[in-house]
Amino acid sequence: MSSQPERDRVAPRLAAFAGVLALVMILGFSVGRTVGRTDGGPAAHTESGTAEDGHGHGRGGAPGDGHDGSSGAGTNAPTGAGEASGLAVSAHGYTMVPEATGFTAGTPGQFRFRVDGPDRQPVTTFAVEHDKPLHLVVVRRDLTGYQHLHPTMAADGTWSVDLRLAEPGSWRAYADFVAVRRDGARTSLTLGVDLVAAGTYRPVALPAADRTATVDGHTVSYEGTPEVGTMRPLLFRVNTPAGPAALQPYLGAYGHLVVLREGDLGYVHVHPEERLAGTAVKFWLAAPSPGRYRVFFDFQVAGQVRTAAYTLVVT
């Protein structure tokens, strides 16, 4: 049997050893947590995927319908949720740089611009989204004169497109694109810049809200009621006197939807589900805020693209 003096000497040693062991375990756990976040956790987040700024550009799909809508990570994830974009000329290190912003009202001209990246050099690599590497939407501040254009890019990163601003006033041009970095990382953005057509500006009042529009003999109506912050379906139907129109794919989809907010011209670009819902084109949209919006629905029939426009009130 050990003597009392021996026990008195051993006890402090055991306590010290237990303390050292506990400290080693704590430090090992902390190091393990830090190393484990090199793949995108809070300690090591990088722009390794698509950095959305709220414009909703992409392919549509209903939450939980097998299109990967629950995670937002699939190629058919629902779009149109989040804040409106296009309010700034620069975001996430990318800047839209126009060569000139002045136009003569009613006279055809050319709009030239580039997109500079975080390194302050022109971006020359863009992902093709819905058949085009960049979509340009132009509209006057009173939400008239809508145009959906597709510029071409020169080798030095300069984009150019023929543009006619029909009436005097202040106009907004939105560049909607996905920039691709050298390491393959993608950044999805909508940048906006103001254009000016000199002359006497006579603003046009926003039309009353209506669910039906008539375009070149086509009656275009929609069903559904958008809500703030909640994805809701919108179904657009195109009819002729003979019955439902034979819709054709346009830019890789059966329709495109641009939603612009009155007041600041906040921009939301939404694409539909890949398949028709019967005869309807189905979108999913969450309104960025209460207010009045102008909705532009692009569709193609018999090789011709047309646009139906609506005023939408979100409460």
Interval 214-228: pLDDT, tens? 999 999 999 999 999
Least confident of 26-40, 74-88, 103-117: 26-40
Asked if residue 122 belongs to a domain, the reply is yes
Domain count, the chain: 3
Contacts with 173 (C-beta within 8 Å, 6 or more apart), sequence order: 98, 111, 113, 136, 137, 138, 192, 193, 194, 195
Query: Alpha-carbon distance 273 to 283, whole Å?
Result: 6
Q: Is residue 15 part of a domain?
A: yes
What confidence score (pLDDT) does residue 290 get? 97
Residue 59 covered by a domain: no
Q: Is the pLDDT of residue 250 over 90?
A: yes
For residue 310, which of 210, 217, 237, 222 has the smallest C-alpha distance? 210
Write down the pLDDT at residue 287: 96
| Residue 218, CA distances (Å) to 136, 213, 241, 300 in order | 25, 8, 8, 11
Q: Do 130 and 154 lie in a common domain?
A: yes
Among candidate residues 163, 198, 233, the one where a domain is terminated:
198
Domain range for 192 is 90-198
Is 78 a member of any domain? Answer: no
- pLDDT tens, 85-134? 999 999 999 999 999 999 999 999 999 999 999 999 999 999 999 999 99
Tokens linked to 178: 């996905």
pLDDT value at residue 82: 59
Residue 101 lies in a domain: yes
Q: What is the CATH number of the domain that holds 129?
A: 2.60.40.10
Residue 268 lies in a domain: yes
Q: CA 15 to CA 38: how far, in whole Å?
A: 37
Q: What is the pLDDT of residue 65?
A: 35
State residue 271's pLDDT score: 86
Average pLDDT, the chain: 82
